[in-house]
Structure formats: structure tokens, C-alpha cells
Amino acid sequence: MDISIVVPLYNEEESLPELTAWIERVMSENRFSYEIIFVNDGSSDRSLEVIKELADKNGSIHAVSFSRNYGKSPALNTGFERAKGDVVITMDADLQDSPDEIPELYRMITEEGYDLVSGWKKKRYDPLSKTIPTKLFNATARRVSGIKNLHDFNCGLKAYRKDVVKHIEVYGDMHRYIPYLAKNAGYKKIGEKVVHHQARKYGTTKFGLDRFVNGYLDLGTLWFQSKFGIKPMHIFGLLGSLMFMVGFIAIFVVLLLKIIAMCSDTYNFWVTKSVYFYLSLASMVLGVQFFCTGLIGELITRNSAERNNYLISEEF
Ligand code: UDP
Ligand code: MG
């Protein structure tokens, strides 16, 4: 099979027939063998019935339906697990992504050897309240992830070599950072293609402004995981040692002041009146906490099922 198209959807009943007809047309024009995997993310409208009607007419249409709304990342992950095509394409169900981009995306993966090609909505048809924070968000993601050539991390339209989707795990709200996940898994050839974007035709967006707060928090998590995920003591141990050093210096200063005070009877000195006393106290307590966090982190890592999962690219 050439292509698996994974479509996560949540209450998109109006768009589905149009989207399906469009994909079918592009697939038959290019003679691709394909499957469409609709992942119904607990829709409360008629989306599932619509998919059933569509699947009755076309044997290439498959569906997975969640019992409740879990989110776009779980939907994508479920689609990825089931995908059988050599190239896996993800696209939103709301007709904002154009199926006409698929042949070129497919060519970039199969002929130019990309692991992942992300769409870039260079000209967006979204409100300003979304486009401006998105620019900022992408700039941060570029810096943190080190994937410097991507302008649009969170474009729903992406293409993957099958291998990639089988080796990454998209959970929580991590769909915003799939290129970063892929990079962390060892897939380096990540490209971009300018894609046409359209205004939402039916329904409304499923994400509110909290997407930006959550987006940044998730980026922090991913950064931490990729840097210290399997060696947490390296960061917490370092912080703990720094704190201990500050604590010892402060204690030394306090003792010195006390000795000086004791030697000169003109000066009445109480250690609890010195700022260094509190500094040493706070740093020592923090230092112990950092070390304990590091140790617990190490124990958790040791027990993780993935502690020895390495992606091997070649073996002779
Ligand atoms: N979506 C989903 N589960 C959710 C939220 C969204 O499967 O909990 C789907 C949604 O139906 C659409 C895609 O994810 O197919 C992108 O959502 P949306 O168009 O609302 O996002 P936006 O384009 O505003 O970023
Ligand atoms: Mg959309």
C-alpha cells in the first residue's frame, strides 16, 4: 500500500463527505493504493454515522472510534498504530488542509528521502489572535528543538515514512511537537513544504487560547526529557552540588564572623542576625531536595520499560 491517510476528527460531520470525495479524487487521479483511517475522537454529532455511510461505499475507508474525547494526540497515535501504507499522511478533517498536496508530499518522502515533511501554512486564514502567538510559539519551538528549518510545527498536514510513525509515541498534547519527537527518536531528515491553507468552512475550532500555555509547558517537558530523560541525576545532582557549595561558603562566612566577634569583645554578634546564616540554611535544604529528586528520577528511569530502547539505523 502506498499511502495511509490518518484523519483525527472531533465533531466534523459537515466536512467529512466533501473531504472524502476530495481525497478519493486525488488518489484515483494519481493511481495510489491507499487507505483512509478516520479516528473519531468521541464526537457527539453525527460524524460516526457519516463515516459509516462513507465506508459502505469505499472499502479503503477504515475508522476507529473513541468512547469519549481524548484529544488530537491520542487520536493520531491510534491512527499511527494502524497505518499500513509506506507513507503516512496526517490531515485535519475540517477542510483547512488540501488533499491536493498529497502527491508532492509523497514524492518528497519516497524520492527525496525525507523522514518527515511538515506542511507550512505560509499564508494563513486564521484570526490574528491565533496567527501572532503562533509565530512566537514556532520561534521558541525552533530554538528549543534545534530544528531550525521548520516554520510551522503544528500544521495538521504532515507526511511520514512509515518507520517514523511506528517509533514515536504521541500522547497528551504532544501533536504540536511531532517533528521534535521524531528528531529525538533519531530521524534527522525533516523537511517542509509550503501548503495551501483555507479558512474553516464548517464548525468551529476545537482549541482555545489555553493551547499556548499548554504548548509552552509541553515544550519544557520535551526539552527536559530529551536532555535528561535517561539521566536525571546529571541535572539535579549538578543543581544540588551548586546549592551545597553556596551553603558551605555561607556557613564558613558565618563561622568567621562569629570567631572575629568572639575575639573582639566590643562587638556583640548573633549568628541568627546574619544573612549568611539564612543563606546557608536555605541552600542546604534545597541541595538535599535536588539530590533526592535526582535519585528518585534515577530509580524511575531504571524501572522504565524504555530505558534500553535504542533506534538502530544499521547493523552489519
Ligand atoms: N481534533 C480532534 N480532537 C480534539 C480536537 C480536535 O480530533 O480534541 C481534530 C479536529 O476535528 C480537526 C483537527 O483535530 O480535524 C484540528 O482541529 P482544529 O481544526 O479545531 O484546530 P485548528 O485548525 O483550529 O488549529
Ligand atoms: Mg482547523
Residues 156 and 263 in one domain: no
Q: How far is the CA of 10 from the centre of ligand 1 (A)?
A: 6
Residues 266 and 127 in one domain: no
Predicted TM-score (pTM) of the model is 0.89
Mind listing the pLDDT tens digit for each residue in 137-163? Answer: 999 999 999 999 999 999 999 999 999
pLDDT in the model for residue 261: 87
> Ligand 1 — pocket residues by CB below 6 A?
8-10, 12, 41, 69, 71-72, 75, 92-94, 96, 156, 205-207
Residues 198 and 283 in one domain: no
How many independent structural domains does the chain possess? 2
Q: Where does the pLDDT of residue 312 fall: very low under 50, low under 70, confident under 90, or very high at 90 and above?
A: confident
Residues 43 and 60 in one domain: yes
Mind listing the pLDDT tens digit for each residue in 179-214? Answer: 999 999 999 999 999 999 998 889 998 888 888 899
Mind listing the pLDDT tens digit for each residue in 232-243? Answer: 999 999 999 999
Q: How far is the CA of 139 from the centre of ligand 2 (A)?
A: 21
pLDDT in the model for residue 148: 95
Mind listing the pLDDT tens digit for each residue in 265-293? Answer: 766 788 888 999 999 999 999 999 999 99
Beta sheet of 3-9, edge-to-edge order: 61-65, 34-40, 3-9, 87-90, 158-161, 116-120, 190-194
Residues 42 and 153 in one domain: yes
Mind listing the pLDDT tens digit for each residue in 119-143? Answer: 999 988 888 888 888 899 999 999 9
Q: Identify the domain containing residue 266 by its residue range.
A: 232-299
Q: Say which residue, 41 or 310, is predicted with more confidence.
A: 41
pLDDT in the model for residue 62: 97
Ligand 1 nearest atom to the CA of residue 204, by list position: 20
Residues 250 and 160 in one domain: no
Report how far apart, in Å, the C-alpha atoms of 115 and of each of 34, 90, 109, 178, 303 are: 19, 14, 6, 12, 31
Residues 249 and 197 in one domain: no
- The whole-number average pLDDT for the span 17-26 is 97
Residues 102 and 80 in one domain: yes
Residue 116's CATH number: 3.90.550.10
* Residue among 92, 130, 157, 201 whose CB has most ligand 1 atoms within 8 A, to mutate: 92
pLDDT in the model for residue 121: 93
**Burial group, residue 284, by CB count within 10 angstroms (0-12, 13-18, 19+):** middle
Mean pLDDT of the chain: 94
Residues 221 and 251 in one domain: no
Q: How far is the CA of 92 from the centre of ligand 1 (A)?
A: 6
Q: Which ligand is nearest to the CA of 155?
A: 1
Q: Where does the pLDDT of residue 254 fall: very low under 50, low under 70, confident under 90, or very high at 90 and above?
A: very high
Residues 141 and 172 in one domain: yes
* Residue among 5, 6, 7, 10 whose CB has most ligand 1 atoms within 8 A, to mutate: 10
**Burial group, residue 128, by CB count within 10 angstroms (0-12, 13-18, 19+):** exposed
Ligand 1 nearest atom to the CA of residue 70, by list position: 8
Per residue, the 3-state secondary structure of 31-48, as one string, reads: CCCEEEEEEECCCCCCHH
pLDDT above 70 (res 26): yes
Q: Which ligand is nearest to the CA of 130?
A: 1
pLDDT in the model for residue 210: 86
Q: How far is the CA of 40 from the centre of ligand 1 (A)?
A: 11
Q: Note every long-range contact of 54-57, with CB atoms under 8 Å and residues 24 or more positions apart, other chains counting.
A: 54/16, 54/17, 54/20
Percentage of the chain modeled with pLDDT above 90:
82
Q: Where does the pLDDT of residue 306 fall: very low under 50, low under 70, confident under 90, or very high at 90 and above?
A: confident
Residues 280 and 212 in one domain: no
Q: How far is the CA of 207 from the centre of ligand 1 (A)?
A: 7
Q: Which ligand is nearest to the CA of 154?
A: 1
Percentage of the chain modeled with pLDDT above 70:
99
Q: How far is the CA of 258 from the centre of ligand 2 (A)?
A: 67
pLDDT in the model for residue 266: 63
pLDDT in the model for residue 267: 66
Q: How far is the CA of 46 from the centre of ligand 1 (A)?
A: 16
Q: Which ligand is nearest to the CA of 8?
A: 1
* Residue among 72, 124, 201 whose CB has most ligand 1 atoms within 8 A, to mutate: 72
Q: Say which residue, 82 or 123, is predicted with more confidence.
A: 82
Identify residue 178 by its one-letter amino acid code. I
How do strand 116-120 and strand 87-90 relate by DSSP bridges? unpaired
Distance between CA 295 and CA 299 in Å, rounded?
Answer: 6
